[in-house]
């Protein structure tokens, strides 16, 4: 058995964990601020010189994690599934799979070590620590799925307004390339999630990626059925001809009708849930109100009968 922990030891552990947490948060916030506000001249000089920017801690750590992850991960069906989940969650970097695998393993191991350091190394605690590590390892993938579902809902909310803007720009007579360049810049405030995908699509086209490959990537990054249909619609109009604005207007109308039907279906399910809540919370109260007086009378009758039986037994003695 381990040595019992005194109150002083507990205070030391609490202070240490709080200090580590505050330090980690400060490091993450500082790194994010540094990444967002890097000097443009330093970035330009690094690009011209062909070297990496000095002091980029996040990129260095990501590089280490990528190299380690490439040794741990083999390209198989589970790895492809995880890569698809990361893409749906908005992680488009090619090395996202390898970085995620390393972070996932490190998080699971750290969870077990923190539990053992806090509660002591015993046989029972060791088993609990292993269970927590396994649960943490599993929860990391569940968290990625949850992020992907949230991102899909945001894109589904943003896509109708984006299609309206695309229609207005196309009706002005510009080409599809100019339209996508313009839309990628103006939807940053109203549709930030979709804007990131369009900006990456424009960057792919500017870097010389073929149209069909760029449109396939656009559908994969949108990661919703409506986005894939939109990318296929653009591909069909570009490679096989056709009036793009008419097709997009029809597609936008179908999308709006689908969203309206989904809203009605959701409202119908909510009313069902409300009925269940009413049954659970109001029916017991109604039963108490209706059956309470009868139960009280039955109880009084049984008590009176018991008194009479007891009195008759006493007289008989």
From residue 3, give the alpha-carbon distance in Å to each of 36, 64, 123, 293, 296: 48, 38, 13, 60, 58
Of 250, 265, 281, which one is at a domain's C-terminal end? 250
How is 126-179 classified by DSSP, letter by letter? Answer: HHHHHHHHHHHHHHHHHHHHHHHHHHHHHHHHHHHHHHHHHHHHHHTT--HHHH
User: Is residue 53 situated within a structural domain?
Assistant: no
75: DSSP letter: S
Identify whether residues 290 and 215 lie together within a single domain. no
pLDDT confidence band for 11 (50 / 70 / 90): low
Identify whether residues 232 and 258 lie together within a single domain. no
CA-only gyration radius of the chain, Å: 32
pLDDT confidence band for 50 (50 / 70 / 90): very low
- For residues 201 and 185, the answer to whether their CB atoms sit within 8 Å is no
What is residue 95's predicted lDDT score, i.e. its pLDDT? 81
pLDDT confidence band for 60 (50 / 70 / 90): confident
Identify whether residues 183 and 255 lie together within a single domain. no
Summary mean pLDDT of the chain? 78
User: Is residue 23 situated within a structural domain?
Assistant: no
Identify whether residues 224 and 283 lie together within a single domain. no
Identify whether residues 258 and 207 lie together within a single domain. no
What is residue 46's predicted lDDT score, i.e. its pLDDT? 41
User: Is residue 106 situated within a structural domain?
Assistant: no
From residue 94, give the alpha-carbon distance in Å to each of 35, 211, 282, 310: 19, 20, 55, 87
What is residue 219's predicted lDDT score, i.e. its pLDDT? 87
Q: Tell me: pLDDT of 112 over 80.
A: yes
Of 250, 267, 282, which one is at a domain's C-terminal end? 250
What is residue 270's predicted lDDT score, i.e. its pLDDT? 76
- Name the range with the highest mean pLDDT among 1-5, 92-96, 313-317: 92-96
**pTM higher than 0.85, yes or no?**
no
| Helix, strand, coil percentages for the chain (3-state, nearest 5) | 85, 0, 15
User: Is residue 234 situated within a structural domain?
Assistant: yes
User: Is residue 38 situated within a structural domain?
Assistant: no
pLDDT cut 70: percent of the chain above it: 82
Q: What is the pLDDT of residues 18-49, one digit of tens each?
A: 566 655 655 655 555 555 555 444 444 443 34
Q: What is the pLDDT of residues 163-201, one digit of tens each?
A: 888 888 888 888 888 888 898 888 888 888 888 889 988
Q: Tell me: pLDDT of 266 over 50.
A: yes
User: Is residue 29 situated within a structural domain?
Assistant: no
Q: Tell me: pLDDT of 64 over 70.
A: yes
Identify whether residues 162 and 211 lie together within a single domain. yes
- Which of 63-77, 243-257, 289-303 has the lowest average pLDDT? 63-77
pLDDT confidence band for 10 (50 / 70 / 90): low
Identify whether residues 185 and 246 lie together within a single domain. yes
Q: What is the pLDDT of residues 280-301, one digit of tens each?
A: 787 777 877 888 788 888 888 8
Of 232, 250, 268, which one is at a domain's C-terminal end? 250
Give the tokens for residue 186: 């103006």
43: CB partners within 8 A, 6+ apart? 53
Q: Tell me: pLDDT of 139 over 60.
A: yes
- Name the range with the highest mean pLDDT among 16-25, 197-206, 304-313: 197-206
What is residue 136's predicted lDDT score, i.e. its pLDDT? 85
- For residues 47 and 105, the answer to whether their CB atoms sit within 8 Å is no
What is residue 21's predicted lDDT score, i.e. its pLDDT? 64
User: Is residue 272 situated within a structural domain?
Assistant: yes
Question: The domain containing residue 181 runs over which residues?
Answer: 154-250
User: Is residue 80 situated within a structural domain?
Assistant: no
Identify whether residues 163 and 220 lie together within a single domain. yes
Count of domains for the chain: 2
What is residue 17's predicted lDDT score, i.e. its pLDDT? 66
More confident site: 213 or 313: 213
- For residues 248 and 163, the answer to whether their CB atoms sit within 8 Å is yes
Identify whether residues 197 and 228 lie together within a single domain. yes
């Amino acid at each position: 058995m381990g040595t019992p922990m005194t109150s002083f030891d507990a205070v030391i552990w609490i202070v240490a964990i709080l200090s580590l947490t505050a330090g980690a948060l400060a490091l993450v916030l500082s790194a994010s601020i540094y990444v967002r506000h890097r000097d443009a001249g330093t970035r330009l000089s690094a690009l011209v010189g062909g070297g990496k920017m000095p002091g980029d801690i996040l990129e260095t750590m990501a590089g280490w994690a990528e190299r380690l992850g490439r040794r741990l991960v083999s390209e198989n069906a589970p790895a492809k599934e995880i890569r698809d989940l990361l893409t749906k969650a908005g992680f488009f970097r090619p090395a996202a799979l390898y970085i995620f695998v390393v972070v996932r393993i490190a998080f699971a191991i750290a969870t077990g070590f923190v539990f053992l350091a806090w509660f002591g190394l015993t046989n029972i605690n060791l088993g609990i620590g292993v269970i927590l590590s396994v649960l943490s390892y599993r929860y990391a993938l569940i968290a990625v799925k949850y992020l992907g579902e949230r991102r899909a809902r945001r894109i589904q909310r943003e896509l109708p307004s984006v299609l309206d803007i695309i229609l207005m720009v196309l009706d002005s007579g510009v080409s599809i390339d100019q339209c996508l360049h313009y839309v990628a810049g103006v939807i940053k405030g109203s549709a930030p999630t979709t804007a990131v995908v369009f900006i990456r699509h424009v960057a792919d086209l500017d870097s010389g990626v073929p149209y069909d490959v760029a449109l396939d990537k656009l559908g994969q990054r949108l990661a919703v059925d409506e986005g894939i249909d939109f990318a296929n619609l653009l591909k069909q109009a570009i490679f096989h001809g056709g009036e793009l604005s008419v097709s997009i207007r029809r597609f936008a109308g179908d999308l709006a009708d689908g969203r309206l039907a989904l809203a009605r279906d959701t409202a119908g399910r909510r009313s069902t849930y409300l009925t269940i809540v009413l049954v659970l919370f109001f029916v017991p109260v109604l039963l108490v109100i209706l059956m309470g007086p009868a139960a009280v009378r039955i109880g009084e009758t049984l008590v009176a009968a018991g008194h009479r039986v007891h009195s008759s037994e006493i007289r008989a003695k």
